[in-house]
Amino acid sequence: MAVKTTGIFCRPGCPARTPKMINVVFFENASLALSAGYRPCKRCHPTKLPGEASSLVRQLINLVEDHPERKWQEQDLVKIGIDPSTARRHFKQRFGMTFSTYVRQRNLGRAQKHLNKGESVINAQLSAGFESPSGFRAAYAKTFGAPPKHKGGAPLYVAWMDTPVGPMITICSDSQIYLAEFTVRKNLEGQFKKLSKTYQRPILPGQTQITHLAENQIQDYFAGHLKSFDLPIATTGTPFQDQVWSVLQTIPYGESWSYSKLAKTIGNEKAVRAVASSNARNGLAIIIPCHRVISKDGGLGGYAGGLTRKQWLLDHEARFS
């Protein structure tokens, strides 16, 4: 949305003062607005991806990854010119946790990997940035439910990525992907708790080879280069839900089915509501393409990630099919 009197373009819904509609011009995307000579708004940042991680968040994550042995404190941030309260706010917006909590959870995940390799508890403690053995044991037991020991239950790792329609979260182990969701989904915390309880594994910030594989494929999907996913998935549904999710993966890219057609395909044409409920409980957005199921009358039906996002996905696939 560009404003002729100011020469600025914004996202719809920008918190800046609403202009008179006579002065407004709409563009399909930011690139066209830039080409027309408008400059991006400094409040809503329309050239960035929706919900994109700030440069501060990326900077701090790089610091954590480049210095895994360090236990970052607020005074450390001040020394490098970062306001701790700003860092705390940015991390809460992005991850739902403070920077210090992120560092602690990330380091505990590293400690668990050291223990699983057969290393000593003291080495795991130092790798997690804990000076006190008692402090390390207490933090570890709170996270993993037991004192540190060799070859304990490996955690699942949660990572965040940006997409053209908003941030996504993935949860992966070293061998499978368990969840891929848009962060706007309701009850995301409930899904975390269900996964952790079902598999008896804590969920910590971090990445695995499967995380990187999933992110690469998701990025290829949004670029229009990938039409079907090849990922080792793990689901936590009932037998009926697993059946529905399996059939969902057979819906061709660029096509859409009705809920009733999906019900008939699984052999129970009366199970339309149960099919819709199973769709809503799919925890692998895009990978298991529940967005390709719409109402019989051509309406969008429902979508846990939001109907605007569902329409975008269908239009995206139609454009590249």
Three-state DSSP class for residue 241: helix
CA 22-28-32 angle, to 5 degrees, is 90
If you count them, how many residues does the chain have?
321
pLDDT at 320: 92
pLDDT: is 68 or 216 the higher one?
216
Q: Which CATH class is domain 156-321?
A: mainly alpha
pLDDT at 30: 79
Token pair in block for residue 204: 């910590």
Which amino acid, one-letter code, is at 223?
Answer: A
> Which CA distances in Å does 103 have to 16, 108, 167, 211?
35, 9, 20, 19
Average pLDDT of 232-254?
A: 94
DSSP string, 47-107: TSPTTPPPHHHHHHHHHHHH-TT----HHHHHHTT--HHHHHHHHHHHHSS-HHHHHHHHH
Average pLDDT of 30-57?
A: 77
CA distance 173 to 160: 15
307 Cβ contact partners less than 8 Å away, ≥ 6 residues apart = 300
CA distance 52 to 13: 17
Q: Does the structure show a pLDDT above 70 at 74?
A: yes
Q: Grade residue 262 by pLDDT with cuts at 50, 70 and 90.
A: very high
pLDDT: is 57 or 212 the higher one?
212
Instruction: Name the average pLDDT for the chain.
Output: 86
CA distance 20 to 22: 5
Token pair in block for residue 35: 């080409």
Q: Where in the chain do CATH 1.10.10.60 domains reside?
A: 55-144
Query: What are φ and ψ of residue 70, in 5° steps?
Result: -95, 135
CA atoms within a 13 Å half-sphere pointing along the CA-CB vector of 315 = 7
pLDDT at 275: 93
Give the position of tokens 């039409």: 227
Q: Does the structure show a pLDDT above 60 at 112?
A: yes
Q: How far apart are the first and last CA of the chain?
A: 29
Helices (H), the chain: 30-35, 55-66, 74-79, 84-95, 99-116, 121-127, 133-144, 188-199, 209-222, 239-248, 259-265, 272-280, 307-320
Confidence (pTM): 0.71
Question: pLDDT over 70 for what percent of the chain?
Answer: 96
CA distance 216 to 219: 5
Average pLDDT of 65-73?
A: 76
CATH topology of domain 55-144: Arc Repressor Mutant, subunit A (1.10.10)
Token pair in block for residue 134: 């008692």
Q: Grade residue 220 by pLDDT with cuts at 50, 70 and 90.
A: very high
pLDDT at 285: 94
pLDDT: is 308 or 185 the higher one?
308
Q: Does the structure show a pLDDT above 70 at 179?
A: yes
Three-state DSSP class for residue 161: strand
Average pLDDT of 167-194?
A: 88
pLDDT at 120: 76
Average pLDDT of 276-287?
A: 93
Q: Where in the chain do CATH 1.10.10.10 domains reside?
A: 156-321
Comparing CA positions, the residue from 171, 124, 184 lying closest to residue 312 is 184
Catalytic residues: 10, 290
pLDDT at 189: 79
Alpha carbon 188 to its chain's center: 10
Question: Could you report the per-residue pLDDT of 127-160, keeping only the tens digit for each?
Answer: 777 777 788 888 877 777 777 765 556 789 999 8
